[in-house]
Structure 1
Amino acid sequence: MSFRDDSSGEEGRSELRKPLLHTGSWYRMGMGSRQSSLMEKLSSSASVIRDSSISVVLCTVIVALGPIQLGFTSGYSSPTQDDVIRDLSLSLSEFSIFGSLSNVGAMVGAIASGQIAEYIGRKGSLMIASIPNILGWLSISFAKDSSFLFMGRLLEGFGVGVMSYTVPVYIAEIAPQNMRGGLGAVNQLSVTIGIMLVYILGMFVKWRMLAVIGILPCAVLIPALFFIPESPRWLAKMGMMDDFEASLQVLRGFDADITVEVNEIKRSVATATSRRTAIRFQDLRQRKYKVPLMISIGLLVLQQASGINGILFYAASIFKAAGLSSSNIVTCGLGAVQVVSTGTNAWLLDKAGRRIFLIISTSGMSASLILVSVTFFLKDSAPEGSHLHSVLSVLALIGVVAFVSSFSIGLGAIPWVIMSEILPVNIKGLAGSVATLANWLTAWIVTMTATLLLNWSTGGTFAIYALVAIFALVFVIIWVPETKGRTLEEIQWSFR
């Protein structure tokens, strides 16, 4: 594969060219004397991806297997706790370590994710991330003691840490501006689908077989990546101008005029730091970098600090404290609520905009968390078995469901969308790694402290999370820009 600059990319541009898939990369080939028999084989499939939306949606669906893997990993410990502890003779503290190790691995993956995605591309990064996921699930499925269990969990965490950065970036870079929000929300939708699947399957499948099933998303993802184009913006940044235009042409349709978009992307990468010049942390102090990085970190930290993982991981004990039975069924119901709410977000995000959904989401989260907090404080003084006690139990359930629903329609998906939109291409690797690391570090802190806080005071725990949600609302109103209907280049130029 050759590296070319803008001037060399002009050569032969007047010829009619079409994309060709070759060893996972997309190349250009002229008609006439250079047309090969492979182009004739591709002609039958060309009509399938001729339309921009079909091609981009297909690419999004394929890379969405990554966040499904993330959701499966996150939810695995919930339905398997009792069986794993019994079969491997683990203590509760050992299983707690097992559950939290995915966050530790994800922090390591987050640190490496930006550089991996910058040097070997978005597709290559996803392939690399899939391998430790597969090895991790195999280690868990054949575990005879805690050591293999812990090693498998760390490997899974590393893989999903890389994926959590790479997937939203890839989707943002391939999507047309009028579809970018909805397609970006597919990332979080896939996470919720993964969580719901592991909750449901965990009711019927033993933990070892469930670990084997966990291999499937990545096992399908690896070969599927060979049939989709690399991010055109990454190709342009790397100087692969022929491959860049070929990739963009495939994504927009063979008959589409991509001249304007090509010129915009070229102008953007022309002002970016060259490939061989490293971005340093000092460079992030410039306003054009500092503001988008602050917004990205703020949203991703507040997403986790609102307590979503603590509430979902310990939903069964929360519902038990509220006096509700059938906690497993209720937990599966919460998973379904997440999927429906996030799906609604993906459908409407490009119509309504990012800011309005974030404001609605954080407002709903604040109100529902306050409701749950007040309910548990009142419940402590209500006689058990009384009518008031039953009413408060129902209100607690309504509040938790409302919180999860409010989180899913905004703060769950949109921070990843906005991060991938506002970070300039030349700092996306470094800044994206920092923001993703902050997200996973906060998730680990919340998960590790949730049990202690709930044992201290259930009402007090929800009151703390409510304060965070209120702060998130203020943060969105003051700092978060609207990115709907703007190209990535327009968004990034606005911070200069």
Structure 2
Amino acid sequence: MASNRAGGGGGGYESGSDHDGALQKPLLPNSGSWYRMGMGSRQSSLNAGTSSMAVLRESHVSALLCTLIVALGPIQFGFTGGYSSPTQDGIIRDLNLSISEFSVFGSLSNVGAMVGAIASGQMAEYVGRKGSLMIAAIPNIIGWLAISFAKDSSFLYMGRLLEGFGVGIISYVVPVYIAEISPQNMRGALGSVNQLSVTLGIMFAYLLGMFVPWRLLAVIGTLPCIVLIPGLFFIPESPRWLAKMNMMDDCETSLQVLRGFDADITAEVNDIKRAVTSANKRTTIRFQELNQKKFRTPLILGIGLLVLQQLSGVNGILFYASSIFKAAGLKNSDLDTFALGAIQVLATGVTTTFLDRAGRRILLIISAAGMTLSLLAVAVVFFIKDNIPHDSDLYNILSMVSLVGLVAYIVAFSFGMGAIPWIIMSEILPVSIKSLAGSFATLANWLTSFGITMTANLLLSWSAGGTFSAYLIVSAFTLVFVILWVPETKGRTLEEIQWSFR
């Protein structure tokens, strides 16, 4: 980055970054220039009278507003995941697909997401967090349109791959952006908005899928990204990314906009400068160097939580919830599926209020324990149901128990394992390895999700009880993993968390 980009706002800040002279710059305007002009004019007004202070506060672009705008991306993420459940019968009937072919369709979003995950870290590094989300929105829109006009499986598959590519980028960039713009006392709550938005997207797909045909539902799927694109022009870029790119004027402006024009950001700016200076003294991190202790521990924790999140079977259950409820003997499976999605939204919303009070670690422990007990109940029910008549009272009772068990599983998952692994990943990875390690962790998550969604339908056809028993074992191991190794990150700055691993 040219030295004049580091302007006076950096206080003479210099860096030995390997980015010097490189082409990295925001794909979208930082909004810093016109915010800065606004700040200057408002400052002169401030000298004229105290009424200007009210203007400054009203002009504050809060971290919450920025979070709500980028949260349109995770809504798209959730809509993609929820789409396959209510549309399975319609797509199979209209396009004459087999169960295996539809399973391929359901899982192809994960294949696209793996490609997106590989690209996401470097993309977020080179064009910024906002620019990456802009790039992610375009294939999502094209993918939904391809599905809506599909006449055979080829367009269906292509659309699903394009959607997945965009979702893979979104799944990495959104939690990182939210973590980097949030005040430390709000980072947990704002970070959990990511998962809350995913659950909203799933619920909307379930709800609308009961009333509209699958082609129209695909057109509706374009809306979150269509709204996201213009929204990105009205929010600031991540100040930590701007600092890493040696754009210190824009970094300070962005941070001032996020905290309010009357806020003192001196201490936070100095923390960011120290962290970035330390990171930029090194040349580019190579894959082999991730084995150093200061990198290895956060990487194992980040990847471990994201892989265990998927191995517990959540996407297999959510993608094919309608089929699972039919197998359990429930008559109105689509309505039950929507109820499951609504309960997931409520449970995730409750988590949002607790994250910055209770802490990440205790919520993960409660979540993993609840998932384990719920899956135990569901597995036992399915084993028993296979050996009793379908018209018996006991069969009907067991059907309701299986519904309660699955709802309890989703509630427990939403209470911790849904949101917190992404939050912790965005908090613990040092800035020097965030692009490489974050891509790797996101790729591991999507690779595991692909394996789960590809096999869930087939495993459930083989043995529902056996399938839930496998997910049960993973959830029990997750509980042990959290108790033994996951640290608490509540109430600490990103820089403090990352230095603790040294």
TM-score normalised to structure 2 length:
0.91
| Corresponding position of 1:48 | 58
Counting only pairs closer than 5 Å after superposition, residues 55-94 of structure 1 correspond to structure 2 as: 55-94=62-101
- The C-alpha deviation readout for 1:164-223, integer Å capped at 9, x for no partner, is 000000000000010000110000000000010011111111222211111111111111
Q: SS of the residue aligned with 1:371?
A: helix
> Structure 1 segments of 4 or more deviating over 6 A?
32-36, 42-45
Distance in 2 (CA, whole Å) between partners of 1:134 and 1:85 is 23
Gaps of 5+ in 2: 14-27, 46-51
| Corresponding position of 2:254 | 247
Q: Say whether residues 1:382 and 2:392 are aligned partners.
A: no
Q: Say whether residues 1:126 and 2:136 are aligned partners.
A: no
Q: 1:88 to 1:495 in 2, by over 3 A?
A: same
Percent identity, aligned pairs only, is 69
Q: Which residue of 171, 179, 189 maps to 2:186?
A: 179
Q: 1:391 to 1:88 in 2, by over 3 A?
A: closer
Distance in 2 (CA, whole Å) between partners of 1:9 and 1:210 is 49
What code does the residue aligned with 2:214 have? W
Is the CA contact (8 Å cut-off) linking 1:303 and 1:411 kept in structure 2?
yes
- The C-alpha deviation readout for 1:136-159, integer Å capped at 9, x for no partner, is 112122222222221111111000
Q: SS of the residue aligned with 2:32?
A: strand
Of stretches 22-31 and 183-192 in structure 1, the one that deviates more from structure 2 is 22-31
| Corresponding position of 2:398 | 392
| Corresponding position of 2:453 | 447
Q: CA deviation at 1:11?
A: 5.5
What code does the residue aligned with 1:370 have? L
| Count of residues in Structure 1 that have an aligned counterpart in Structure 2 | 479
Q: Which residue of 135, 140, 150 maps to 2:157?
A: 150
| Corresponding position of 2:375 | 369
Q: SS of the residue aligned with 1:409?
A: helix
Q: Which residue of 427, 445, 456 maps to 2:433?
A: 427
What code does the residue aligned with 1:402 have? A
Is the CA contact (8 Å cut-off) linking 1:233 and 1:265 kept in structure 2?
yes
Distance in 2 (CA, whole Å) between partners of 1:368 and 1:202 is 27
Distance in 1 (CA, whole Å) between partners of 2:190 and 2:447 is 26
Distance in 1 (CA, whole Å) between partners of 2:276 and 2:10 is 16
Counting only pairs closer than 5 Å after superposition, residues 249-398 of structure 1 correspond to structure 2 as: 249-273=256-280, 277-398=283-404
Is the CA contact (8 Å cut-off) linking 2:85 and 2:321 kept in structure 1?
no
Is the CA contact (8 Å cut-off) linking 2:84 and 2:320 kept in structure 1?
no
Is the CA contact (8 Å cut-off) linking 1:79 and 1:203 kept in structure 2?
yes
Distance in 1 (CA, whole Å) between partners of 2:341 and 2:110 is 20
| Corresponding position of 1:9 | 9
Is the CA contact (8 Å cut-off) linking 2:7 and 2:248 kept in structure 1?
no
Distance in 1 (CA, whole Å) between partners of 2:297 and 2:42 is 51
What code does the residue aligned with 1:47 have? R
Is the CA contact (8 Å cut-off) linking 1:49 and 1:55 kept in structure 2?
no
Is the CA contact (8 Å cut-off) linking 1:199 and 1:332 kept in structure 2?
yes
Distance in 1 (CA, whole Å) between partners of 2:239 and 2:479 is 35
Q: 1:398 to 1:43 in 2, by over 3 A?
A: same
- The C-alpha deviation readout for 1:258-279, integer Å capped at 9, x for no partner, is 111111111000100359x322
Q: SS of the residue aligned with 1:76?
A: helix
Is the CA contact (8 Å cut-off) linking 1:2 and 1:240 kept in structure 2?
no
TM-score normalised to structure 1 length:
0.92
Distance in 2 (CA, whole Å) between partners of 1:271 and 1:197 is 45
Is the CA contact (8 Å cut-off) linking 2:57 and 2:262 kept in structure 1?
no
What code does the residue aligned with 1:415 have? P
Q: CA deviation at 1:397?
A: 1.1
Distance in 2 (CA, whole Å) between partners of 1:214 and 1:3 is 44
Is the CA contact (8 Å cut-off) linking 1:24 and 1:225 kept in structure 2?
no
Gaps of 5+ in 1: 14-21, 37-41
Distance in 1 (CA, whole Å) between partners of 2:255 and 2:435 is 21
Q: CA deviation at 1:310?
A: 1.1
Instruction: Give the superposed CA RMSD.
Output: 2.3
Is the CA contact (8 Å cut-off) linking 2:103 and 2:457 kept in structure 1?
no
Q: Say whether residues 1:406 and 2:412 are aligned partners.
A: yes
What code does the residue aligned with 2:309 have? Q
Q: 1:3 to 1:64 in 2, by over 3 A?
A: farther
Of stretches 26-35 and 222-231 in structure 1, the one that deviates more from structure 2 is 26-35
Q: CA deviation at 1:100?
A: 1.3
